[in-house]
Structure 1
Amino acid sequence: MNETRTLARFVVETRFADLPTRLVDNCKIAVLDAIGAGFVGSVQPWTRRIVSVVQALGGPPDASVIHEDWRTDVSRAAFANGVLIGAFECEPLTGSHASGTVLPAALAICQRERFDGARFLAALALGFEVSARIARTAVGLEAVRGFHNPGTQGPFGAAAAVGRLYAFDEEHLTSALGIAGSSSAGLLEFAWSGGDTKRLHLGRASQLGLESALLARAGVRGPETVLEGRSGYFNAFSTSPRIEKLLEGLGTDWAIEPPCLKSYATHVTHQAVVDAIQRFKSEHPLDPGTITRVAIRGAPRIMEERHSARAPHDVLGGQYSLPFTTAVALTRDL
């Protein structure tokens, strides 16, 4: 079975009217939450440096950049907005960080082409779904292979969304996915030795997906088995992919439900821990100085080595560190 082509056909044939009302409503919430995350990101020093480079590169004023009073071309706008949305670990996670990969690409094209809201939301939902299905199919991409999920999965979702906005047929959408997958990337090394590269990954994924769709629109062809092929995405990035998860329940069971919104600016695996501590403190006032030991039980992913740093090297390291976020939750009211 050609999984890539089947996924492309789903994007092409699904109508706005086919989307469950609750799913559309959740997409609207994700948009608002993501824009809010972008405003938070706009004041971070690493983001200011990245955005200043985008501004210096120029480009026709086709699309806006969150919080900025200047515009740029759709490719650079998608990149900048993806960086802004993912800049401080507080963006919606629905669809493997799709709010920072799919949304910026779709938004930039809609601004340039003046597409309406229904068209935008349909493209957004379908792009989110493509990204989410690829994410749930891959196994060991981060923990074993050392890649960063949204950097490798986001380009597919962004390409699908832009292709949908331009009403691609199955052939062009398949090519857009093929082009996007052929260049997808993103290493997880930042989790070990720091740096600002994680802040770049969402924006780069959005930019790559958008440009892949534009290339396909111009007639550039991509491999039609980019996901399932012998040298395709899953064989390159995953250990033993759960390939049945890619198309299971397609069109009836949505992989982006329930939505995933963050309450705290930490890694997603720490949200429940921080929330539990805050709830406990509200009912049982405590003196952090009297605490000698904290025991946390949870899923194996929470306990991965990359989340165990006791002396994080930078802000991102702190957001990724379970010991650090636990200490902050115990000593601060969040």
Structure 2
Amino acid sequence: MVQEKSCLEKINEVLEEIQWESVPLDVRTKAKECLADFVGVMLKGSENSLSAALRKALGEEPEHNPEDLALWLGSTGRMPDTDDGHRFAMAHPGVVINSTAIAMALHLQHVKGADLLEAIIKGYEMYCYEGRVINPGAYLKRGIDATSVCGGAAAAVVAGSLWGLDKQQLARAISLAASLAGGLNQSAIDGSAQKYLVAGWGAKLGIACARMARENLGGPLHVFEGKLGYCNAFAPEPNEELLYHPRLNWDIRNVYIKRYACVRRIHATLDAISDIMGKTGLTPDRIKSVKVYGSQFLYNAGGYEPKDGAQAQTSVPYTVTLLLHFGRVEDREVHAHLQDAGLAAYSHRIEVIKDPEIIALAEKDKSLWGAAKVRIETVDGTIYNGKQIIPYGDPELPFQEGIVEQKFLGMVENTLGKEKGEAIWARLMGLEQEDSCESVFQNVLKVL
């Protein structure tokens, strides 16, 4: 009798299918864009005082150790909350995967660009397999932050691939990381630096597990499906079809790029309001009220007067107020106006309401947790209505060509400057031609 393969063995076989020579062109391009987007967001995050505090906590020279470097870069890249994400896996793969890739490229020194991109693509595939299996229940019902819980195994895949682990060693690295993973989401309610640190922690964990797997240390064979394993711990409603039957999806294609510095569940709301403002020319003083209709998940983001950046990034009233007054929601606005009494008072014009139609929509398609309807009433009684099911930047509503580059250059303006920023972007877009990509990332770290 042939024994059924474990889920670990099956997903490891899927990863083995990913070889650079057979990677579709659009997947290659997306991998480069995701890496570049991370670099830009991370450099923007380095302006945050929390990034400097973390670097000091790590001994001020984290670049001497790949685990600590990945922890610092990944956490820093999470701080602006403009890092990439995956609607179906319901978290942020890029900060974990790309911080790991950069740390390993600098540690190993002679990593070819094509090998780095192949490892990144494998990392996204691993992450999205786990995230699709455990979410949305892990997040909504158990408070699990998949950024770290899925990120650990994904980082192990990236680091293990670049270290040249064989198939059995890579399985050990994945199993160890999945067994040791953790990360909670209470910061979405209370705020705190924990929101950012889980990203770097997943990267650090993955590299450490890959390092141990090189010496043939590993975790349990049935880590994912076992009675006391990953899914039982994290997923009240796992996707068992996908769990037991993983397949190659090239899931990096489904990664979204963000344009607002806040949690993704608010983006559809902001898109709907932005469209109304663009069409009508409304100014904040003419608006009497804004009603936002959504699911319970969106309703939970209806808090007023946030106390820190993490709370601000999870507040519909605050971020809508910023959009109305400044025409954008960027990192500098999010932090600069936390103590603005006038904007705090204005934010009470915005109300989040649970809506049966959106709730039913989200129950039918669990990936539509951020769908929203908006109703703007002006001081003269005019009503404007809008509706956004999927935010711009998702695969169904991709940004126009050049927007990701534009975002990158804006993010690095204060650190690299325009000329150096354009040069780094060009090298990242041609990364597969680099015999060693160490110098690309050395040039990035020089400004930190």
TM-score by length of 1: 0.90
CA drift at 1:287:
3.2
Q: Deviations over 1:11-31 (max 9, x none)?
A: 234211222110110010011
Q: Deviations over 1:232-291 (max 9, x none)?
A: 11110110200222465722x333323310011011111222122223212212232342
What code does the residue aligned with 2:84 have? P
1:126 to 106, 122, 125: 122
In structure 1, the partner of 2:379 is none
1:81 and 2:76 equivalent?
no
- Determine if contact 2:96/2:202 at 8 Å carries over to the other structure: yes
CA drift at 1:212:
0.4
Gaps of 5+ in 2: 329-448
- Determine if contact 2:20/2:114 at 8 Å carries over to the other structure: yes
After TM superposition, list the pairs within 5 Å mapping 1:243-322 onto structure 2: 243-246=240-243, 250-251=247-248, 253-298=249-294, 300-303=296-299, 305=300, 307-322=301-316
What code does the residue aligned with 1:127 have? G
Alpha-carbon distance change, 237 to 278 in structure 1, aligned in 2, over 3 angstroms = same
Matches of 2:132 and 2:307 in 1, distance apart?
31
1:137 and 2:133 equivalent?
yes
Q: Deviations over 1:54-100 (max 9, x none)?
A: 244x46xxxxxxxxxxx321111111110111111011114731211
1:209 and 2:224 equivalent?
no
- Determine if contact 1:12/1:173 at 8 Å carries over to the other structure: no
- Determine if contact 1:55/1:72 at 8 Å carries over to the other structure: no
Matches of 1:240 and 1:92 in 2, distance apart?
25
- Determine if contact 1:267/1:320 at 8 Å carries over to the other structure: yes
**Greater percentage in strand:** 2
CA drift at 1:138:
0.5
What secondary structure does 2:207 align onto?
helix
After TM superposition, list the pairs within 5 Å mapping 1:51-66 onto structure 2: 51-56=55-60, 58=61
In structure 2, the partner of 1:67 is none
In structure 2, the partner of 1:156 is 153
What secondary structure does 1:294 align onto?
strand
Matches of 2:100 and 2:319 in 1, distance apart?
32
- Determine if contact 2:156/2:210 at 8 Å carries over to the other structure: yes
Q: Give me the identity figure in percent.
A: 24
In structure 1, the partner of 2:391 is none
What secondary structure does 1:35 align onto?
helix
What code does the residue aligned with 1:51 have? R
- Determine if contact 1:7/1:247 at 8 Å carries over to the other structure: no
Matches of 1:85 and 1:247 in 2, distance apart?
33
1:166 and 2:163 equivalent?
yes
- Determine if contact 2:302/2:317 at 8 Å carries over to the other structure: yes
What code does the residue aligned with 1:316 have? A
The structure that has the greater radius of gyration is 2
2:325 to 304, 323, 331: 331
1:6 and 2:1 equivalent?
no
CA drift at 1:330:
1.8
1:200 and 2:171 equivalent?
no
What secondary structure does 1:102 align onto?
helix
Over the aligned positions, Cα root-mean-square deviation in angstroms equals 1.8
CA drift at 1:298:
4.1
What code does the residue aligned with 1:323 have? P
In structure 1, the partner of 2:414 is none
Q: Deviations over 1:197-234 (max 9, x none)?
A: 11111000000011101100111121121111111111
CA drift at 1:118:
0.8
In structure 1, the partner of 2:428 is none
What code does the residue aligned with 1:166 have? W
Matches of 2:132 and 2:97 in 1, distance apart?
17
Matches of 1:247 and 1:23 in 2, distance apart?
25
Matches of 1:132 and 1:256 in 2, distance apart?
8
In structure 1, the partner of 2:423 is none
Q: Deviations over 1:285-310 (max 9, x none)?
A: 2232342332223455333x2x1212
CA drift at 1:146:
1.3
Matches of 1:243 and 1:18 in 2, distance apart?
29
Gaps of 5+ in 1: 60-70
- Determine if contact 1:127/1:161 at 8 Å carries over to the other structure: yes
Matches of 1:179 and 1:74 in 2, distance apart?
18
CA drift at 1:39:
0.9
- Determine if contact 1:12/1:167 at 8 Å carries over to the other structure: no
- Determine if contact 1:5/1:170 at 8 Å carries over to the other structure: no
